Chains A and B, each alone.
Chain A
Amino acid sequence: MTTDVADPAEAAGIAPAADSGFLQRYGVTIEYILIPGAALLGALGVFGIFVALFGKSPLDLYFYMYQGAFGTWFSWQNTLTRAAPLILTALCTALPAQLGMVIIGGEGALLIGALAATSAALAMPWAPPLVVQIAMVCAGMIGGGLWIMLAGGLRQYRGVNETISSLLLVYIALAILNHLVEGMMRDPASLNKPSTREIGAANMIGSIPGTDVHWGLVFGVMAAVASYILIYHTVFGFAARVAGGNIRAAKIVGLGVSKLILTICFLAGACAGLAGMVEVAAVQGRTNANLAAGYGFTGILVAFLARQNPLAVIPVAILLGGISASGGLLQRRLGLPDASVLVLQGIIFVFVLASDALYGRIGFLKGKS
């Protein structure tokens, strides 16, 4: 029998002792920027090929996209105006994601929010504008909030998958909107495009002084910052992260998961509902089918690109706002169909989803455990 006993001193520590510095500490953060960034570039590359098939130069494409999105003060304003609702609808996906839920029905909450805000304004023609505007904000947020809370409740109490239900609720919201604007709420004067009556020029929320960008951008940024603080600095956010990270762990420490789910869903829907209110009170002035412009769906893309981080939602929304803002210029200068930016959005979404598989697999960023 042989017995060579290993050195006990060496046996004491299994974990590699030294902190190997920068990559160790920031590896994960770098990854969160690098991978979506690479996915975006990859998507732009593929879109370039797509455009080349139309006989256009991809280099021209990239140049005009930049011009249309960020090239001039005018295009910046156009971009920011489009980014405002995207920030809010992205939060509708990013907030429930903290609880591990995939909600893709921001579009529905936006429509219901718009409808509720319009109804509030039309119900109080006697009130001063500020009161009307506050009532519109509240109505929009409550309407949108209840709408997504419905998806959360269906999941929590009836076991219905929240992704499917929130998506189907979009179509129900659209049907409700059409039903009302073509029936009860229709302005008899709107002939070709059935709409509600106008909320009145005095009740419009207007633009940030010195710009053509409406106040919705400020709402969006405020909502994103508040969401970030809520998730990362408050007791409620901590409980939500526990429940989102591991529902079994949340239950074993007695956290009320149903309450968390319903509250988060309400807040998420309230953000999208606010986007609907902004679209009515700053852009359209009334509710009609024009509101279903896809902001809710692009918001999903924004949230995924931002890795569901409420703060990262802001720059990503601006980026995607820019892409959609450049659509017009691409049409004029390159003769591309207006919808071609939607093709780009689709390609980006596919790349972002596929890039999910790369996390934790990039050799030089691997932290040692």
Chain B
Amino acid sequence: MIIGETPLPSGALGVDAVAMTMRFGDFTALDNVQLKVRPGSFHALLGENGAGKSTLVKCIMGYYHPTEGDVLVGGREQTIANPKDAHALGLGMVYQHFTLVPAMTVAENLVLARDDVPAVVNWSKEKKELEAFLARMPFKVPLNAKVSDISAGERQKCEILKQLYLKRRFLILDEPTSVLTPGEADEVLGMLRDMVVHGDLTILMITHKFREVMAFADEVTILRRGKLAGNGKVSDLTPDSMARMMIGAEELTVQPARVGQVGAARLELDRLNALDDAGGVAVHNVSLAVRGGEIVGIAGVSGNGQRQLVEVLAGQREAESGEIRVIGDVYHASREEMRRHKMSLLPEEPLKNACVGGMSVADNIAFREFDRAPFASGGWWLNRAAFREDAERKIGLYKIKTRTPDTPISALSGGNVQRAVLARELGGEVEVLIAANPCFGLDFAAVAQIHAEIMAARNRGAAVLLVSEDLDELLELSDRLVVMFHGEFVYEARASEADLTEVGRHMAGH
């Protein structure tokens, strides 16, 4: 590092984080972590959930103040007290979720993001400047289109353009491709890579996709449990060696082999229609049969009706028309039906969809059985001892990390919340399983355990409907793959024979 080097007025900016330590109370989120991002490089930051990636970039951006450690921008030590300071230095960040105003046009969004928006905006002048700016940029977006009318890929481009428009020269991208199809992801990252190669920009990308690291990044830093687990040039590493650094010595649950016979249809959807919250058609005339002993995967870019479909199956949304049959009977998501047909649901974001945050782990585990013996004496009086006993057994069996069974479930990490839901939903017999993004945001150990449990349920003869935005997960687990686009099933293939480009094409609606 060169002390005293002045940040260049333009061009790529380097950032170093030196000996960063961040403590929250007793908990050390970052422990003496070092990160060196060279100017004009594409740097990947890898790590499991909770490894400290977000904490590290938030320290750089001034959202957190590190307990110890310094941030060097362009080789010069800088005190970044808040995000405004970071912006003034030319640091910018693109979040996982969109921050654009959907009801405004792209041009309006770009201008409003500036710190110095005049009281009266001279739009004709601004538009001219924006067009000139866009001409210099590698990607194009329709300036006059409303954000709500453009695709997820275009929105992500807008987010990045916004940062460039604000003259940021060091860009942090937080899982930028999680909402994109594989084709869109390659396009956006490829263009950013070109800008980096031209020396206009430095990029630090948080990701968990090895494919993107191998294809686009120059260097990589790997964190594990708040510590530096490794770093180096991507060309010196393999996905395997990076995965080992991310996971450490932890042993992962082995996924059982795919065995067993496909049986009769257990879950049938017949011309199902459902609306979204705004009253638009979200699920349109969807028909599907899932048989016992098979996993049917539903692929699609998020926002194509998958969530509403799962909500209908989970009883969280009324179907507009159409019929759901479970083992031949019409199904309305009542408790009695779920129980009779041994249905289990693993929804996405379990804390939001399947748990009561303020209630204890033991209570949450008992949600399906609390009104029956031994949990309910005489059908009405709660037997606390039974709750505790059952919870203790399942906490051990499913390796749920919690201080006590009485701890509120909201105090647990995401992986452990999902394990508790897993214990509740898969702890008994299962004949129909509906899972939606069950591994979203979880660490390797939890993902391996959940995949193993889903496969085991399939092998025991359950009909499994797996809705996921993670194509790799679907290809790994599914027997059959269905692509959902704009609320309809547009493509179906055996997972073992599915062609990735074909699947991607249908996901994008071509």
Cβ of A3 within 8 Å of any chain B Cβ, yes or no, is yes
From A5, A15, A366, A368, give the contact of B245 (CB < 8 A): A5
Contacts of B380 in A (CB 8 A): 234-236
Proximity bits, A221-252, B CB within 8 Å = 1, else 0: 00000000000011111110110011011011
Residue among A1, A12, A256, A366 with the most chain B CB within 10 A? A1
**Which single residue of chain B is at the shortest CB-CB distance from A367?**
B411
Q: In the complex the two chains form, is A5's CB within 8 Å of B248's CB?
A: yes
Q: In the complex the two chains form, is B358's CB within 8 Å of A8's CB?
A: no
Q: Given A5-B230, A11-B224, A19-B403: A249 and B382 within 8 A (CB)?
A: no
CA distance A255 to B358 in the complex (A): 18
Q: In the complex the two chains form, is B335's CB within 8 Å of A246's CB?
A: no
**Which single residue of chain A is at the shortest CB-CB distance from B249?**
A8
Distance in Å: Cβ of A121 to nearest Cβ of chain B: 33
Q: In the complex the two chains form, is A251's CB within 8 Å of B26's CB?
A: no
Proximity bits, B216-242, A CB within 8 Å = 1, else 0: 000000001101111111001100000
Q: In the complex the two chains form, is B354's CB within 8 Å of A249's CB?
A: yes
Q: In the complex the two chains form, is A252's CB within 8 Å of B336's CB?
A: no
From A1, A3, A11, A237, give the contact of B225 (CB < 8 A): A11
Cβ of A211 within 8 Å of any chain B Cβ, yes or no, is no
Contacts of A8 in B (CB 8 A): 248-250
Cβ of B260 within 8 Å of any chain A Cβ, yes or no, is no
Q: In the complex the two chains form, is B367's CB within 8 Å of A249's CB?
A: yes
Proximity bits, A36-57, B CB within 8 Å = 1, else 0: 0000000000000000000000
Q: In the complex the two chains form, is B345's CB within 8 Å of A11's CB?
A: no
Contacts of B225 in A (CB 8 A): 6, 10-11, 14
Segment at the interface with A among B60-68, B296-304, B368-376, B489-497: B368-376
Q: Given A2-B231, A8-B250: A239 and B371 within 8 A (CB)?
A: yes
Q: Which of A9-32 contact B (CB under 8 A)?
A: 10-16, 19
CA distance A4 to B338 in the complex (A): 50
Q: In the complex the two chains form, is A256's CB within 8 Å of B335's CB?
A: yes
Q: In the complex the two chains form, is B367's CB within 8 Å of A5's CB?
A: no
Q: In the complex the two chains form, is A249's CB within 8 Å of B353's CB?
A: yes
Contacts of B339 in A (CB 8 A): 254
Contacts of A235 in B (CB 8 A): 370-371, 376, 379-382
Q: In the complex the two chains form, is A366's CB within 8 Å of B381's CB?
A: no
Q: Which of A276-329 contact B (CB under 8 A)?
A: none
Q: Given A14-B50, A256-B334: A245 and B371 within 8 A (CB)?
A: no
Q: Total number of A-B contacts with CB less than 8 angstroms?
A: 124
Cβ of A253 within 8 Å of any chain B Cβ, yes or no, is yes
Q: In the complex the two chains form, is A252's CB within 8 Å of B347's CB?
A: yes
Cβ of B316 within 8 Å of any chain A Cβ, yes or no, is yes
Proximity bits, B332-362, A CB within 8 Å = 1, else 0: 0111111100000101000011111111000
Cβ of A192 within 8 Å of any chain B Cβ, yes or no, is no
Contacts of B345 in A (CB 8 A): 252
From B25, B237, B352, give the contact of A248 (CB < 8 A): B352
Q: Which of B191-208 contact A (CB under 8 A)?
A: none
**Which single residue of chain B is at the shortest CB-CB distance from A255?**
B335
From A1, A5, A13, give the contact of B229 (CB < 8 A): A5
Contacts of B224 in A (CB 8 A): 6, 11
Q: In the complex the two chains form, is A368's CB within 8 Å of B333's CB?
A: no
Contacts of A236 in B (CB 8 A): 380
**Which single residue of chain B is at the shortest CB-CB distance from A237?**
B382
Distance in Å: Cβ of A240 to nearest Cβ of chain B: 11
Task: Tally chain B residues at the interface, Cβ within 8 Å.
Answer: 55
Cβ of B413 within 8 Å of any chain A Cβ, yes or no, is yes
Contacts of A1 in B (CB 8 A): 230-233, 236-237
Contacts of B370 in A (CB 8 A): 235, 238-239
Cβ of B363 within 8 Å of any chain A Cβ, yes or no, is yes
Q: In the complex the two chains form, is A249's CB within 8 Å of B336's CB?
A: no
Q: Which of B363-398 contact A (CB under 8 A)?
A: 363, 367-368, 370-371, 376, 379-382
Distance in Å: Cβ of A297 to nearest Cβ of chain B: 28
Contacts of B256 in A (CB 8 A): none
Contacts of A4 in B (CB 8 A): 228-230
Distance in Å: Cβ of A24 to nearest Cβ of chain B: 9
Distance in Å: Cβ of A17 to nearest Cβ of chain B: 8
Distance in Å: Cβ of B23 to nearest Cβ of chain A: 11
Contacts of A245 in B (CB 8 A): 356-359
Q: Given A2-B230, A235-B380: A249 and B249 within 8 A (CB)?
A: no
Distance in Å: Cβ of B19 to nearest Cβ of chain A: 14
Q: In the complex the two chains form, is A254's CB within 8 Å of B334's CB?
A: yes
Q: In the complex the two chains form, is A242's CB within 8 Å of B359's CB?
A: yes
Q: In the complex the two chains form, is B335's CB within 8 Å of A253's CB?
A: yes
Contacts of B283 in A (CB 8 A): none
Q: In the complex the two chains form, is B367's CB within 8 Å of A11's CB?
A: no
Q: Given A4-B230, A235-B382, A242-B367: A251 and B333 within 8 A (CB)?
A: yes
Distance in Å: Cβ of B348 to nearest Cβ of chain A: 11
Contacts of B245 in A (CB 8 A): 3, 5
Q: In the complex the two chains form, is B314's CB within 8 Å of A251's CB?
A: yes
Q: In the complex the two chains form, is B335's CB within 8 Å of A252's CB?
A: no
Q: Given A253-B338, A368-B27: A234 and B316 within 8 A (CB)?
A: no
Distance in Å: Cβ of B465 to nearest Cβ of chain A: 14
Contacts of B230 in A (CB 8 A): 1-5
Q: In the complex the two chains form, is B249's CB within 8 Å of A252's CB?
A: no
**Which single residue of chain A is at the shortest CB-CB distance from B351?**
A246
Cβ of B315 within 8 Å of any chain A Cβ, yes or no, is yes
Contacts of B237 in A (CB 8 A): 1
Contacts of B227 in A (CB 8 A): 6
Q: In the complex the two chains form, is B382's CB within 8 Å of A248's CB?
A: no
CA distance A239 to B359 in the complex (A): 12
Cβ of B58 within 8 Å of any chain A Cβ, yes or no, is no
Proximity bits, A144-184, B CB within 8 Å = 1, else 0: 00000000000000000000000000000000000000000
Contacts of A13 in B (CB 8 A): 401
Contacts of B334 in A (CB 8 A): 254, 256
Q: Which of B391-415 contact A (CB under 8 A)?
A: 401-403, 410-411, 413
Distance in Å: Cβ of A359 to nearest Cβ of chain B: 11
CA distance A251 to B315 in the complex (A): 6
CA distance A241 to B360 in the complex (A): 12
Q: In the complex the two chains form, is A14's CB within 8 Å of B335's CB?
A: no
Q: Given A234-B381, A252-B347, A254-B315: A246 and B337 within 8 A (CB)?
A: no
CA distance A4 to B245 in the complex (A): 9
Q: Which of A96-115 contact B (CB under 8 A)?
A: none
CA distance A26 to B376 in the complex (A): 28
Q: Given A5-B248, A234-B380, A366-B25: A249 and B355 within 8 A (CB)?
A: yes
CA distance A256 to B339 in the complex (A): 14
Distance in Å: Cβ of B505 to nearest Cβ of chain A: 34
**Which single residue of chain B is at the shortest CB-CB distance from A238?**
B370
Q: In the complex the two chains form, is A3's CB within 8 Å of B232's CB?
A: yes
CA distance A249 to B363 in the complex (A): 12
- Contacts A14-B50, A234-B382, A253-B354 supplied; 6 other A-B pairs, CB < 8 Å: A1-B233, A1-B237, A12-B250, A252-B354, A255-B335, A368-B25
The 3 tightest CB contacts between A and B, nearest first, are A245-B356, A1-B232, A254-B335
The interface of chain B, by Cβ under 8 A from chain A, is 25-27, 50, 224-225, 227-233, 236-237, 245, 248-250, 314-316, 333-339, 345, 347, 352-359, 363, 367-368, 370-371, 376, 379-382, 401-403, 410-411, 413
Q: List 15 A-B contacts (CB under 8 A).
A: A1-B230, A1-B231, A1-B233, A5-B229, A5-B245, A14-B401, A16-B26, A19-B403, A234-B380, A235-B376, A238-B363, A246-B357, A249-B356, A252-B316, A253-B335
The interface of chain A, by Cβ under 8 A from chain B, is 1-6, 8, 10-16, 19, 233-239, 241-242, 245-246, 248-249, 251-256, 366-369
